[in-house]
Structure 1
Amino acid sequence: MSNDKINKKREKDQRRQERKKQKKRSKQIQLVRTYSIYVIAIVLIGYGLFSVVSGPQIGPMGSTHEHLDILVYINGEALDLNQSRYAMKSGYGHIHGGEGDIMHLHAINIPLNWFMESLDLAITEDSINVHGIEYSSNDDDVFLIFVNGENIIDTEYMLMDEDKILIYYGSASDEDIANALSLVPDRAEEVNASPNKGD
Structure 2
Amino acid sequence: MGRRAREERQEKREDKAAKISKNKRKTNLMATGILAVIAVIVGYSVFVFMTQVDTSGALGAPDGAGRLGDEHEHASLLVRIFGDKLDFASPAYQIKSSWIHFEDSDGTTIHRHSSGVTLGDLFDSMGFTVNDECFAFPDGREFCTNEDYSLKYYINHKSVGNIYDYVLEDDARILISFGPETPEEIEVQLIELDSQMIKG
- TM-score norm. by structure 2 comes to 0.63
Residue 89 (structure 2) pairs with residue 72 (structure 1): no
Contact 1:83 1:97 in 2 (8 A): no
Q: Unpaired segments of 5 or more residues in structure 1?
A: 1-55, 192-197
Paired position in structure 2 for 1:146 = 154
Paired position in structure 1 for 2:34 = none
Contact 1:140 1:172 in 2 (8 A): no
Q: Secondary structure of 1:113's partner?
A: helix
CA distance in 1, matches of 2:161, 2:118: 13
1:2-25 per-position Cα deviation (integer Å, ceiling 9, x unaligned): xxxxxxxxxxxxxxxxxxxxxxxx
Aligned residues: 135
Contact 2:136 2:142 in 1 (8 A): yes
Paired position in structure 1 for 2:11 = none
1:172 CA drift (Å) = 3.8
Contact 2:65 2:116 in 1 (8 A): yes
1:182 CA drift (Å) = 1.7
Q: Secondary structure of 1:58's partner?
A: coil
Partner of residue 103 from structure 1, selected from 107, 110, 125: 110
- TM-score norm. by structure 1 comes to 0.64
Q: CA RMSD in A?
A: 1.6
1:36-67 per-position Cα deviation (integer Å, ceiling 9, x unaligned): xxxxxxxxxxxxxxxxxxxx811111011111
Paired position in structure 2 for 1:91 = 98
CA distance in 1, matches of 2:126, 2:112: 13
1:157 CA drift (Å) = 1.6
Paired position in structure 2 for 1:8 = none
After the TM superposition, which parts of structure 1 deviate over 6 Å for at least 4 consecutive aligned residues? none
Contact 2:79 2:177 in 1 (8 A): yes
Q: Secondary structure of 1:103's partner?
A: strand
Partner of residue 118 from structure 1, selected from 112, 122, 125: 125
1:145 CA drift (Å) = 1.0
Percentage identity across paired residues of the two chains: 27
Paired position in structure 2 for 1:135 = 143
Instruction: State the one-letter code of the partner of 2:105.
Output: G
Contact 2:100 2:121 in 1 (8 A): no
Q: Secondary structure of 1:183's partner?
A: helix
CA distance in 2, matches of 1:75, 1:101: 18
Paired position in structure 1 for 2:89 = 82
Paired position in structure 2 for 1:187 = 197
